[in-house]
Structure 1
Amino acid sequence: MELMTLLPILGVLLLIIVLKRSPIEAAFFGALSALILWLCDVATPYSQVLAWAIITDTMILFVSVASVIAMGLLLVVLLEKTPTNQAFTSWVGLLNLPKSQSVLLVMLGIAPMLEALTGFGVSLIAIIPILLTLLPKEIALKTALVGMAIMPWGTLGLATVTGASMLGLSAAELGLYSAMVSSPVFMWLALWALSLAKLLDKQALINALMVCVMFVCVLASASKTVGVEIAGVLAGLSVVAYFLLLGKKSPIPKAIWVYAVLFGSVLLLKVVGFLTGWQHWAWQGVQASFKPINSPSIALALTVIVVWWAYRQQYALNAVIHQWLKRAYRPLTTILCFLLMSQIMVKGEFLQGFHQLLNGLPTVAQIPILAMLGAIGGYLTGSNVGGNVLMLPILTDNNPILAAIMNSAAGASALASLPVVAIIAGLAKADTQQEQRLISTALMVAVINTALVAMVGVLLYVGVA
């Protein structure tokens, strides 16, 4: 019977890993199998009260995630018709930095800043042309993976906010611990990329260490104080500012004003929420809650309106809507199905046996298992949010450090997932052999990232405990 309660998760893993089915098909199977098992009284019997709790929390979590994804993808579609992302390529060249510093600027500055603002791999559109001018093609492709390491703070911190909401934790606390747990991932990826490019001399090492320490400090402090929504943006901006001081004086391209509008909108909404008290209003479910004024979706929607108006002559409404729906329906459907599956399994107590098994282990022994499960979720779904939704319900308690380990592991593996590799290969026009080598490298990166997250997670847990 206990094995039956794990069927939805095991089925999802089987469909994606063995049968090579898409995440949307696996998510549909997971939701349907969980629903059937619950109606068959495999775990906690069906009741109207439980059904209402499942539906309510699923819809609250879905609205909080879907509103950001929908607006973010609409902004991505609009930006493709503008010179915004291409402006970075010429600007980096004008700074006249040494090659190692230019690579660090892209990896820990521009890429995290853009990915934290919009998500969905938008940073790759900007950084791959830059990296191709700095490095040989195959090394540039591998280096592009590093720029995605901001995952838990991507799309204005969506994964961390969603994870915190699912577990009833503070997003600020989860963001702080996630920054601590993720810190060695940033460090090793930066050094690995410089080593790949044969740029890792003494000066480059010093620069990399300084930049990584600054990046993590800003990320952690911003997550705790001003919010995870803009922590990744501020961390990336701090690195950009550092290299601006080192480089040749060159004005920031006017074409990137869109990102300034988005950043300003986030800050404005935080101020408005604080002054009016609206930041405390929430759509409250049984366990989940959604605070609209704190959602990045409003800032994204405001930016979409401004961009549409500024470039309205370039857009055909029907074409934009078609592109938007084409891109949005798969991730939104996948997330909805995974959310429904997770809520049925949590509230139906499907994982009771697994929880008892984990509880039989010391917490320190649980950490590598949790890191591995988080990594599997992120890698299979190709999304930090998807990984969290799929695997976070496995947690036996809502300890923020354990949640941060799973959150960080999901992000550290999602950056190396097949969807991300496909985007990189497509943008760089890689051939089949190059793409296969990139897949192998990405898998290696995911494994090392997960091991680092687990090791630091153990040290952090022991130190705090």
Structure 2
Amino acid sequence: MITLIGVNHFTGPEIAGVSAGLVVLGMGLITARCKGPISGWPRSAWPYLALLATIGVIKCLLLATDISASVLITGKAVSWQPLASPGLALGIVLGLVLWANRRGDLTKELSQGPSQGHTQGYGAEWVHRSWKPLATIFFFLLMSQALLKGGFLTGFQAGLSQLTSTSLIPVAAVLASLSGYVTGSNIGGNAIFMASLTHLPVPNTNWLAAIQNSGAGHGALGSLSILALITGLAKSNRIEEAGLIRFGFWLVCVNTVLVATMGSLLIAFFGEG
């Protein structure tokens, strides 16, 4: 929390989340190191460390040079800056992983046995473990964009405008968590409902925007797309997948209640400004 507030204050929100993640990772490594040696962990986790480092370097370069604005792809309704996309860091690290895989330096297991056959088997394992989470993420994002671009949310905004300020808070929390749960992303969830909430004819739209942002982020924690990614990485079986999905659903429900409660208390104590 201190890192998020400090970095956001001095440099802006671009690298605040990454900086907080690095601090948490460092604290975890220090704690684990104090309890004993970390046997083999850094070698098996180097792609994740490389991804964090790549994201940090790219964010710092973009913050210092603003070069991302020079490469802009503009459509009818949206604009996209490829150099500011998270896919850039993922692509760089993926290239490093493939290069290390070809050289037999990815893990100790890759250096054993026939190189060509083992590499082909490892590639098949990648496809087997990645297709389900990638397909889940794709179709959930496709569904959210269909709701957004198809005009299906116009009725939601009309209905929300009829609610009182008191009843609007829990409804906004539920919609926020639902948007994060469906998209698996805080940004994607905000893209669905943020505009509808901030244009309501009520005096506390700033609080509603905060509720939407918090609810979408907490809803994304238990989303099916994120859980599919976790189960794919962990090689989970069907029983473990079902248990994790139930846990994620109840986690989102509890977080929704907490967001609605805290939003109501904040508005009650600090007013409807």
Q: TM-score over 0.5 for the alignment? A: yes
1:359 aligns with 2:144: no
Contact preservation (8 Å) 2:177, 2:256: yes
1:241 match: 26
How far has the Cα of 1:374 moved from its partner?
1.8
Q: Where do 1:37-436 residues align within 5 Å?
A: 216-223=1-8, 226=11, 230-242=15-27, 244=30, 247-248=34-35, 250=37, 253-281=42-70, 282-285=72-75, 288-312=78-102, 313=104, 314=110, 315-316=119-120, 319=124, 322-323=127-128, 327-345=133-151, 351=154, 354-363=156-165, 365-379=167-181, 381=182, 383-384=184-185, 387-392=189-194, 394-397=196-199, 401-417=207-223, 427=235, 429=237, 431=239, 435=242
Structure 2 vs 1, CA of residues 339 and 413 (structure 1 numbering), >3 Å: closer, same or farther?
same
Gaps of 5+ in 2: 105-109, 111-118
**% identical equivalent positions:** 29
How far has the Cα of 1:453 moved from its partner?
1.1
- CA RMSD, 1 decimal: 4.0
Equivalent AA in structure 1 for residue 134 of structure 2: A
What is the alpha-carbon distance in structure 2 between the residues aligned to residue 256 and residue 308 of structure 1? 15
Contact preservation (8 Å) 1:219, 1:231: yes
How far has the Cα of 1:319 moved from its partner?
3.4
Equivalent AA in structure 1 for residue 81 of structure 2: K
**CA offset digits 1:75-111 (Å, max 9, x no partner):** xxxxxxxxxxxxxxxxxxxxxxxxxxxxxxxxxxxxx
Q: Which has the higher contact order (CA 8 A, sep 6+)?
A: 1
Equivalent AA in structure 2 for residue 374 of structure 1: A
What is the alpha-carbon distance in structure 2 between the residues aligned to residue 318 and residue 397 of structure 1? 49
Structure 2 vs 1, CA of residues 271 and 234 (structure 1 numbering), >3 Å: closer, same or farther?
closer
Gaps of 5+ in 1: 1-215
SS of the residue 1:368 aligns to: helix
Equivalent AA in structure 1 for residue 78 of structure 2: A
1:49 match: none
What is the alpha-carbon distance in structure 2 between the residues aligned to residue 249 and residue 226 of structure 1? 36
How far has the Cα of 1:242 moved from its partner?
3.7
SS of the residue 1:445 aligns to: helix
How far has the Cα of 1:236 moved from its partner?
3.7
2:256 match: 450
**Length-normalised TM-score, structure 1:** 0.42
What is the alpha-carbon distance in structure 2 between the residues aligned to residue 391 and residue 444 of structure 1? 22
Contact preservation (8 Å) 1:382, 1:420: no
What is the alpha-carbon distance in structure 1 between the residues aligned to residue 96 and residue 245 of structure 2? 38
Equivalent AA in structure 1 for residue 197 of structure 2: L
Equivalent AA in structure 2 for residue 299 of structure 1: A
Contact preservation (8 Å) 1:218, 1:234: yes
2:107 match: none
Structure 2 vs 1, CA of residues 404 and 322 (structure 1 numbering), >3 Å: closer, same or farther?
same
What is the alpha-carbon distance in structure 2 between the residues aligned to residue 284 and residue 237 of structure 1? 33
**CA offset digits 1:272-293 (Å, max 9, x no partner):** 3345431333334455332222
How far has the Cα of 1:326 moved from its partner?
6.0
Equivalenced residues, count: 243
What is the alpha-carbon distance in structure 2 between the residues aligned to residue 364 and residue 225 of structure 1? 36
**CA offset digits 1:374-410 (Å, max 9, x no partner):** 223334x372356445544542429564334223323
2:113 match: none
Contact preservation (8 Å) 1:358, 1:396: no
